[in-house]
Structure 1
Amino acid sequence: MTAGSGGARTALRRCVPIPADDFAERHWDRAPLLSRRVDDYTDLLDLDDVDELLSRRGLRTPFVRMAQRGKVIAAARYTGGGGPGAEIGDQVHDERVFELLNGGATLVLQGLHRLWPPLIDLAGGLGRELAVPVQINAYLTPPGNQGFATHYDTHAVFVLQVAGTKRWRVHPPVVIDPVERQPWGGRADEVAAVAADPPVLDAVLGPGDALYLPRGWLHAASALDDWSLHLTLGLRAPTRLSVVEALLDLAADEPALRAGLPMGTELGDDGSSIAPVLADTVKALHSWLDTLSPDTVAAHWSRSTASAARPAPMRPVAQAAALARLSVDDRVRLRPGLRARIVTTERVAIEVPDRTVTMPAVCAAAVRELLDGRVHRVGDLPGLDDADRLVLVRRLISETILTLDA
């Protein structure tokens, strides 16, 4: 965990009040943590903001979902045509949402980390501190109602209570550390059986309270006597299985592991025909694994997972307009959240998730500074004259690797 333990109102500090090192050692991927009066979350999203999103922002599915008494409501019941000039058929209809809310349904606003500015910033900050992709949903439940039955998630979550109160009942896992291919629906009977036992945590969250749940922990939540609004921050952290999957991708480059099976091999028999093949394959796998370096695996993993978390939003109109009048007095920085690394050979190669950008070797010193994450004045870049500095920076802004510092 890369977050420091100090600094008020860092993204992690808004979710847990204890030092980051303590949280990492005692709770991360291990045990729930209930925290009282951590922060006021109404600056992130409040009830008026929910109305703004529903009534004036033209939301479409899948940014909205509704559920009641443990069942998801068909989107056709609260969406429809967008009207003249909007050639879409799944825009949220606020009057239909009103009817369902009035009848006790829970509203879920999904993907707010891509939609609502304060939550875009929170997700970006928390993602950089924890080095994980972060998604954010909001849940609005009318008084006395429950949207979803007891279930578990295959990723850890922070729950931030914004308004109202909600009772949370938490039970231990039926699957330890489940991954996405192990959703709770495939174990519904086991989940229901464990949910019938007394919970290990039965607590009411009020405004400003926060709850951390590791993946796999069963939970159900119900609103009490007022409208409850909470945010769920999903932490899509990699696992050891992620490393295995990266190794599997790399294994395709090893001829001994691509070799075909002997003609007539029966994979569905009692195992006798594949036993020697299995022995040879395990031997080849061990030999190949011994040749791998951590750097090779890390580089592949970085390339294959970088697209899971988008870099910080940029202002395309402002960037394009400013690019035309770029001067040596302008200040630029690496686009926050963008994974970029330098490979220096005869030319300077900058690797980003979806491409490689090459520059003359004379740019090496300037590129190293530009990719260090700090803000730099164009005219101060080393190793180049002003004309070449402007050419370099224009190119990297055009490639959306750099952004102009406001």
Structure 2
Amino acid sequence: MPSLSTAADLPRDFTDLLDLDDADALLSQQGLRTPFLRLAKDGQVVPERRWTGGGGVGATITDQVRDDRVAEHFADGATVVLQALHRTHAPIARFAAGLATDLGHPVQVNAYVTPPQNQGFASHYDVHDVFVLQVAGEKRWRLHAPVVTDPLRDDPWTDHRDAVAARAAEEPYLEAVLRPGDALYLPRGWLHAATALGEVSAHLTVGVHVRTRAALVEQLARLVLDDPALRETLPLGVDVTDADSLAPHLQATVAALVEGLGDVRAGTVAERLTPGALAGNRPAPLAPLAQAAAVRGVGPDTVVRTRPGLAHVLRDGGERVELVLADRRVGVPARAREALLRLLTGEDVAVYALPGLPPEDAVDLVRRLLREGVVIPTDGLPADGLPAVVPAVGQPDA
């Protein structure tokens, strides 16, 4: 169910994440391109060609945000949507990476900046959970119960426009005004619309892309499709529109599914889910030039730390240990396992303190992990730091 928390209920406000000055800087100084920005007015998206243009001399692009055109549309009542701020704004990137680590689900963050007395989008629902964080001004929210319970990612509200419009015309389940520092939780599927009140209003939407049991069903279906019995062509002439004609083939298919699923191990499904799970959020940025210098200068006194927000899984494999990342696997000898585990704790670690390895092997291990972007030199961390993802250790076929 939705829930509302006022600033008085919360231990902090959200001014460290984004304010209106930050939004102006992003729009005018960061060279944003589509799709990192959208404009919307009265429920309709403003075509990109009306507020983008060429980047000028030396920039052979045609879709750079034009701040003067954005200013015109904003003055005319358009809502500015800064998309994927977890990729373009450092404070939110750090916040999103830490939150994704805590929740175990991928996180995205958008910002919606709306002129006074305007509404950017009509009532709709999202296919992911949302936390609304009010950062400036006031915005009135109207919530209605779902027309689709727990919608999946391939079940957007646009497939149910009439039902959404009818539900939105009813009395709202909740109507509330959010002020700076207030927060609102919206489970996926809940209809919502927001209108700015007497001044410019800005809020962040933290989208949590929750994983569901439907994802397990998809993987199970892919696994059993390796069964030849399920790949067979239905007999020529079968009428799939006739229940009596279809019944024996459906029964045979169900029997093959039950038999195929009976031998599926959790480790097999986990292995298939791992790439997508690790790719859900990118880790915190690293400084390429400083990283290269650290690779060249690594020695026994070098202090490193796991790259913040790095999603990874550690797999034991006899004589080798594999560190599974979103886009690759890093294999090291089994004798380096304890040293690798120490490096993946998220704490500052000196090379000379790595257990189980002679000094020259410890240097080689850290040099390789620096090169792979798994660890970073301690002085490359942001001042507030971020926790690293604790690795899962296990056998693929457990």
Q: TM-score, normalised by structure 1?
A: 0.89
1:302 to 269, 274, 280: 274
What's 2:248 paired with? 276
Q: Give the 3-state SS of the residue equivalent to 1:324 in structure 2.
A: helix
C-alpha deviation, 1:335, in angstroms:
2.5
Contact 2:39 2:80 in 1 (8 A): yes
Q: Which letter maps to 1:233?
A: V
Q: Which letter maps to 1:361?
A: A
Contact 1:171 1:217 in 2 (8 A): yes
What's 1:197 paired with? 170
C-alpha distance after superposition, 1:307-362 (max 9, x if no partner): 12222222222111111111111222333332131323122332223222222333
Contact 2:294 2:370 in 1 (8 A): no
C-alpha distance after superposition, 1:191-222 (max 9, x if no partner): 11111111011111111110000000001100
Contact 1:330 1:378 in 2 (8 A): yes
C-alpha deviation, 1:280, in angstroms:
1.5
Q: Give the 3-state SS of the residue equivalent to 1:145 in structure 2.
A: coil
Do structure 1's residue 220 and structure 2's residue 193 form an aligned pair?
yes
Distance in structure 1 (CA, Å) of the matches to 2:311 and 2:245 = 49
Q: 1:165 to 1:376 in 2, by over 3 A?
A: same
Contiguous gaps of at least 5 residues in structure 1: 1-30
What's 2:334 paired with? 361
| Residues 272-351 of structure 1 aligned to structure 2 (within 5 Å) | 272-336=244-308, 337-351=310-324
Distance in structure 1 (CA, Å) of the matches to 2:237 and 2:327 = 40
C-alpha deviation, 1:182, in angstroms:
1.0
What's 2:2 paired with? 32
Contact 1:172 1:200 in 2 (8 A): yes
Contact 2:138 2:201 in 1 (8 A): yes
User: How well do the aligned residues superpose, as a CA RMSD in angstroms?
Assistant: 1.6
Distance in structure 2 (CA, Å) of the matches to 1:271 and 1:401 = 56
What's 2:184 paired with? 211
Equivalent residues, number: 375
What's 1:154 paired with? 127
C-alpha deviation, 1:85, in angstroms:
0.7
Distance in structure 1 (CA, Å) of the matches to 2:140 and 2:271 = 44
Contact 1:82 1:89 in 2 (8 A): yes
Q: Give the 3-state SS of the residue equivalent to 1:95 in structure 2.
A: helix
Q: Which letter maps to 2:152?
A: V
Contact 1:344 1:364 in 2 (8 A): no
Do structure 1's residue 81 and structure 2's residue 66 form an aligned pair?
no
Do structure 1's residue 109 and structure 2's residue 82 form an aligned pair?
yes
Contiguous gaps of at least 5 residues in structure 2: 380-398
What's 1:28 paired with? none
Q: TM-score, normalised by structure 2?
A: 0.90
Distance in structure 2 (CA, Å) of the matches to 1:359 and 1:132 = 28
C-alpha deviation, 1:265, in angstroms:
5.4
| Residues 33-48 of structure 1 aligned to structure 2 (within 5 Å) | 33-37=3-7, 38=10, 39-48=12-21
Distance in structure 1 (CA, Å) of the matches to 2:272 and 2:149 = 28
Q: Which letter maps to 2:206?
A: L
Q: 1:52 to 1:322 in 2, by over 3 A?
A: same
1:66 to 39, 45, 48: 39
Contact 2:240 2:246 in 1 (8 A): no
Distance in structure 1 (CA, Å) of the matches to 2:239 and 2:298 = 64
